[in-house]
Structure 1
Amino acid sequence: MQSYQALYYPFIHFKDEQWLKLAALYWDKIARIVPHDYPTADSDTVKALSPCIGTVRPDWVPPDFAQAFVDFLSQHGGRLRERYGLHLREQWPELGETERAPRAGGPSGNDRRLGYIFYEKIDNDVRRALDASGLASTDQRGERWVGMHPRLAWVYMTALAEQLAAHQGLCPLTDETRDHLALSSLSPERLAQALLDDVELVGTEPTPLEIESTLVSVAFKAVVPANLAELEPKKIMAFREKYPQERIAFQKAAADLLKGGEWLKSIDNPAVLEQRLRDEYDKHWNTRLQDLREQLRDCGIDAVLGCFNLKAVLPAGVAGAMAGLALHPVAAGAAGLAVGVMTTLRDKRKQAMGALRASPVSYLYRMEQDLAPKDLWGRVKHGTQRFALGI
């Protein structure tokens, strides 16, 4: 069974807070690689989500990781220098705003053409080998940031994250749209393929984790439309704590939906992949979500919530007594009416809870009810639902 604890990379701070909110709704835990000597400068959003955010130290990586990189540099240092040597930096373009590290924590280096890695994330032997090959150097700001070609930095951080994740039982996860490389073998040949092959790796087939993350994003955005930026982190945390079993069921539903989806891996365009997953969502989950709404309407939820017409869900005798109560409260038997009403609503609640427990998309329904934006009438209906049926 797949672990639903993730390891974020390549940065220390989360780059996209809306991405983090979606991730927090799905993943049980999201760790990040934070060096011992680095003080984080988290936003209020990240602080509010801190109960589901963990820390992994870069020195937890096995020793053979550094040795594999040193061997790789020893074998391919000359060819790497021809492509990634710092003597060529004048020819490299500046990184765009979306390619740079998050602003939190301050700047990581002076040269906008370089990618920077905090010194604790690079073993001393690896740093010496990089420096000797002319592939990296510390920044003018001091010894804390090591600058190199952005692609070399990306491949190194991907490899580090995969090795740490493998030894911590985590899934490597990124909010970057750059190429997602499978480097788990960490062989010099695989690293050489990533950095020296003539085949451009951008746009290669997506990993299963990337496909799953895109599917989840499509599903969540469908039920919480245009509300993610305003969605309060504390509300996300309360939602997680309230519906852990529904989240587990939805995680399984996502894995089941993608079983046999090998054809998805052949899609090399992210926009096309998202559209195909949107089609899958509409065919499978959106249909089930509509069915769940119908089942809950059959339990009388809409009658109770939409027009406050209890007669639509109460037996004829009790409904008649309600009319009598309006004219002759005592004669109608108020106590008996109350028992009849409560018994009926209790039965309806059982039916509704049964439908929710049986549905693999109950988590989406809960999200739609709890997290989607509501007008005043929607809030009244939602509050009445909680009171009348207790769900």
Structure 2
Amino acid sequence: MFVLKRPSIHPVSAGRLRRGIIAMAALTALAACSGGSQQDRHAPKPKVGFVVAKSSDVPVEVVLGGRTVAYETSQVRPQVSGVIKKRYFTEGAYVRAGQPLFQIDPSLYRAAVNQSEANLASARASADAAAVKAERYKPLAEMEAIAKQDYTDALAQARVAKAAVAQNAAALDTARINLRFTTVPAPISGRIGRSLFTVGALASASQADPLALIQRTDPIYVDMKQSSTDLTALRQKLSQGGASAGSTSVRLKLQDGNAYGASGTVKFSEVTVDESTGTVTIRAQFPNPDGLLLPGMFVNAVFDQSVQHDAYLVPQSAVLRDFDGSAYVMIVGKEGKAMRRKVITDRTRGKFSVVTDGLADGEKIIVDGLNGLKQGDAITPVPASTPQRVNASLQPSGKQD
């Protein structure tokens, strides 16, 4: 029977073997580490898209709530008293200035005209007789055939009679005016509302209510309310040169959110502040040929109240927020590294944020590739308009090798 024996290893040879294994492991680890760091050094830098900051004059858009107001409003009121005999208009129709609207019973006023005409004729006859008498007394007084006092009295009577003619002529004019007032005309052109008095009602010159109301709505006003604080701040900016006056053109948004087709013009702003609301009224005028805008409607007025100088339009996606709410952007810094820059922006315009402080002309603002980007990261900046090429190895393939 044969027994296999383990070969004996000399103690010196075993130590050498252990040292060789340890050395090989160390070399393997060193090679792995050197290869990894070399690989990290040659890793591609992430590409980011940037836009170049350029200051410009940016209009300050203001949206103010307001109400429409008729361009002209007139109350149809009687100027004489009497019973209404006729109504000549259709409620809600368009009437023209001077068009007859109501007819008040003219009987009494026509009789007054006739009486005034008769009184005037009588006064004229008396005046003629007094004038003839004074003419006859004149030569007789010169010859002292009659007393001079008689001539003086005759001349005075002639003058009194002439004055009576003027008085009766004025009374006749008044009577004719009152007769004309029995036909109540439209004082202005516009849309007339409902009739507040019907045929057969008694109209009086001193009544509290009008007969009807006429409103001219083409053009039409829009009265907007702006905070006196905002208006004061704007005037300070204008005086300091940080902004200039904007456009007077105004756009409207209706209650349903749709835009009104025509633009208007700012006419003026009030010189006093409403004590109850702390606002100032600004009035704009709009064309309204189709009558779409009715008096009393609520609308939103949009207009460029001023123009801010040296501002930057930055895409909203590029403006980030800190935990405290402050705004910042990432820019391309020195040596191709991303840098964090705090900015001041308090409003937007379209798809851009308006930056008023924190940027300078020529700086490159990162707008693409912001996800996960941190301060000091090495980047490869390219213009945001540069088309990106898709790696062919990342595209799905229909077959596998």
Which gives a bigger RCO, structure 1 or 2 (Cα 8 Å, sep 6+)? Answer: 2
Query: Would you say same fold, with TM above 0.5?
Result: no
Quick check: which one's helix share is greater?
1
* TM tier, smaller: under 0.3
> Highest CA radius of gyration, 1 or 2?
2
